[in-house]
Amino acid sequence: MPEIKVVHPDDLEVEIKSGAMTRLAGVSEALTGSTGIHLAIATIPPHCASSPHYHVNCESAIYVVKGNGRFVIGDNLDFELAIGPGDFIYVPAEAVHQPVNDGSEDMEIIVARNTPVEIVVEVEPSKA
For residues 49 and 83, the answer to whether their CB atoms sit within 8 Å is no
pLDDT in tens, 78-95: 999 999 999 999 999 999
Q: Which domains does the chain have, with CATH numbers?
A: 14-122 (2.60.120.10)
Q: How confident is the model at residue 127 (pLDDT cuts 50, 70, 90)?
A: very low
pLDDT in tens, 54-76: 999 999 999 999 999 999 999 99
pLDDT in tens, 20-45: 888 999 999 999 999 999 999 999 99
Buried b (16+ CB within 10 A) or exposed e, 3-42: eeeeeeeeebbebeebbbbbbbbbbbbebbebeeebbbbb
Instruction: Find all residues with CB under 8 Å of 9, minimum gap 6, and list them.
Output: none
